């Protein structure tokens, strides 16, 4: 939060609360915040009573310049757009969402409540419903929509919402090139470089890769780690797969049929890693003594896997906060906000072992 600057304002003029209102308006015009500083900040900075601050805020609320948010103070209402806020945020979910996406949207819904808005949730099945049509219906009753990135696997949905781009934010994945809707997503390339570097530092050289090849950022991160470690990857150990538990289970079976030496597997995500782990147990392969496994996303259950999973993940509270901030920015300015990539953190658990001898 930026410092409240007070210049050339005479607090001795009457009435005092009117001068405080002027200070608050100046602060808003200069900084464009979503939320005002607390009453205590204004009281201490201006050296006035809490009563005077509250009177100024009360009048600004009556003038529809600010809106009280339970537990948060006051949200600023901007005259061109925010003064007409309905106070509701749409949440558009896809059917059959994986575990990570459920965790993301649960966190977003919780943040919307805490921010003083009401979430309105709709579930869309793209196989049977027109996505753009359902989004348009939802948009008519809310201020904006935070929606699943998977709806934009094709450009047609974005084209159908071209008149409302500033009132949409996609999570939790990056969108296709050319789609102007802002997205909040986990940065993949650095994340997979981190994961692969960790395996290499633990002595692994023959590393199997089980990711979706269409996401070039994952592969780029893995290859960057090999390059920086001066190790040549064995691309015979690369398998194209999706991020479901059964995919990890099945693809690991295919990997075993190759009869190639490997000591570690890096996976598309945590559910895929669990599928690999389960196949290891079925085949009598010890994890991590014979095979180390790394996932991605840090789903809540990853720490509770039979062998706690080494993974990487972002701060979901930060993703939720940034998604709502981008949505409010787009509403305020009338233009789509810039996409935001959030760096992940490496989470080291016992599914990756250090080799006694480098293979």
The parent domain of residue 31 ranges over 16-77
Q: Do 123 and 215 share a domain, yes or no?
A: no
CATH code (residue 140): 3.40.50.2300
Which of 121, 166, 183, 133 minimizes the C-alpha distance to 328? 166
Confidence of residue 138 (pLDDT cuts 50, 70, 90): very high
Q: Is residue 2 part of a domain?
A: no
Q: Is residue 9 part of a domain?
A: no
Identify whether the C-beta of residue 193 lies closer than 8 Å to the C-beta of residue 169. Answer: no
Q: Do 232 and 288 share a domain, yes or no?
A: yes
pLDDT in tens, 245-299: 999 999 999 999 999 999 999 999 999 999 999 999 999 999 999 999 999 999 9
- pLDDT surpassing 70 at residue 168: yes
Prior bond to 186 cis, omega within 30?
A: no
How many structural domains comprise the chain? Answer: 3
CATH code (residue 52): 1.10.10.10
- pLDDT surpassing 60 at residue 12: no
Q: Do 137 and 178 share a domain, yes or no?
A: yes
Question: According to the model, what pLDDT value does residue 78 have?
Answer: 66
Q: Do 235 and 166 share a domain, yes or no?
A: no
pLDDT in tens, 96-113: 899 999 999 999 999 998
Q: Which tokens in the block code for residue 315?
A: 């701060």
Q: Do 64 and 140 share a domain, yes or no?
A: no
pLDDT in tens, 313-348: 999 999 999 999 999 989 888 899 999 999 999 999
pLDDT in tens, 206-238: 999 999 998 899 999 999 999 999 999 999 999
Angle, to 10 degrees, between the axis of helix 99-114 and the axis of helix 270-283? 150
Q: Is residue 45 part of a domain?
A: yes
Question: Is 303 or 152 the better-scoring residue by pLDDT?
Answer: 303
Task: Tell me what the pLDDT averaged over the chain comes to.
Answer: 89
Q: Is residue 118 part of a domain?
A: yes
Question: According to the model, what pLDDT value does residue 303 have?
Answer: 96
Q: Do 291 and 262 share a domain, yes or no?
A: yes
Question: According to the model, what pLDDT value does residue 221 have?
Answer: 97
Question: According to the model, what pLDDT value does residue 119 have?
Answer: 95
pLDDT in tens, 196-214: 999 999 999 999 999 999 8
Q: Which tokens in the block code for residue 291?
A: 């095979």
Q: Is residue 358 part of a domain?
A: no
Of 77, 108, 125, the domain-final residue = 77
Main-chain phi, psi angles of 300, to 5 degrees? -60, -35
Which of 216, 259, 199, 243 minimizes the C-alpha distance to 99? 243
The pTM score is: 0.77
Identify whether the C-beta of residue 291 lies closer than 8 Å to the C-beta of residue 280. Answer: yes
CA distance linking residue 186 with residue 37, whole number of Å: 30
Q: Is residue 291 part of a domain?
A: yes
Q: Do 141 and 225 share a domain, yes or no?
A: no
- pLDDT surpassing 90 at residue 29: no
Average pLDDT for 25-41: 85
pLDDT in tens, 42-92: 888 888 898 999 999 988 887 777 887 767 788 887 654 455 677 899 999
Main-chain phi, psi angles of 91, to 5 degrees? -125, 115
- pLDDT surpassing 80 at residue 189: yes
Q: Do 44 and 97 share a domain, yes or no?
A: no
Question: Is 216 or 10 the better-scoring residue by pLDDT?
Answer: 216
CA distances in angstroms from 314 to 186, 187, 225, 359, listed in the order given:
6, 9, 20, 32
Q: Do 117 and 101 share a domain, yes or no?
A: yes
Question: According to the model, what pLDDT value does residue 9 have?
Answer: 47
Q: Is residue 36 part of a domain?
A: yes
Question: According to the model, what pLDDT value does residue 69 have?
Answer: 76
């Amino acid at each position: 939060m930026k410092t409240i600057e007070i210049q050339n304002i005479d607090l001795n003029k009457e009435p005092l609360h009117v001068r405080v209102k002027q200070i608050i308006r100046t602060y808003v015009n200069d900084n464009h915040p979503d939320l005002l500083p607390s009453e205590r900040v204004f009281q201490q900075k201006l050296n006035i009573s809490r009563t005077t601050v509250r009177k100024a805020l009360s009048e600004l609320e009556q003038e529809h310049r600010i809106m009280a948010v339970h537990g948060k103070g006051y949200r600023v209402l901007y005259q061109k757009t925010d003064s007409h806020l309905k106070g509701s945020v749409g949440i558009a979910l896809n059917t059959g969402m994986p575990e990570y996406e459920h965790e993301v949207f649960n966190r977003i819904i919780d943040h919307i409540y805490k921010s003083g808005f009401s979430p309105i949730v709709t579930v869309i099945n793209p196989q049977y419903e027109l996505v753009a049509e359902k989004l348009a219906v939802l948009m008519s009753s809310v201020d904006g929509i935070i929606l699943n990135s998977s709806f934009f696997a094709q450009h047609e949905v974005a084209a159908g919402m071209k008149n409302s781009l500033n009132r949409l934010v996609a999570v939790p994945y990056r969108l296709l090139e050319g789609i102007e809707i802002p997205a909040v997503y986990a940065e993949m390339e650095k994340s997979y470089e981190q994961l692969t570097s960790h395996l290499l530092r633990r002595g692994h050289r023959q590393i199997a890769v089980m990711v979706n090849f269409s996401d070039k950022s994952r592969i780029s991160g893995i290859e960057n780690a090999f390059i920086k470690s001066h190790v040549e990857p064995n691309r015979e150990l690369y398998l194209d797969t999706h991020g479901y538990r059964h995919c990890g289970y099945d693809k690991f079976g295919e990997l075993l049929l190759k009869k190639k030496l490997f000591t570690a597997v890096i996976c598309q995500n945590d559910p895929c890693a669990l599928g690999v782990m389960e196949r290891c147990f079925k085949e009598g392969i010890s994890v991590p003594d014979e095979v180390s496994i790394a996932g991605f996303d840090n789903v809540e259950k990853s720490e509770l896997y039979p062998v706690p999973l080494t993974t990487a993940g972002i701060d979901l509270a930060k993703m939720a906060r940034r998604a709502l901030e981008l949505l409010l920015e787009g509403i305020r300015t009338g233009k789509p906000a810039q996409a935001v990539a959030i760096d992940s953190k490496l989470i080291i658990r016992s599914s990756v072992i250090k080799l006694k001898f480098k293979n």
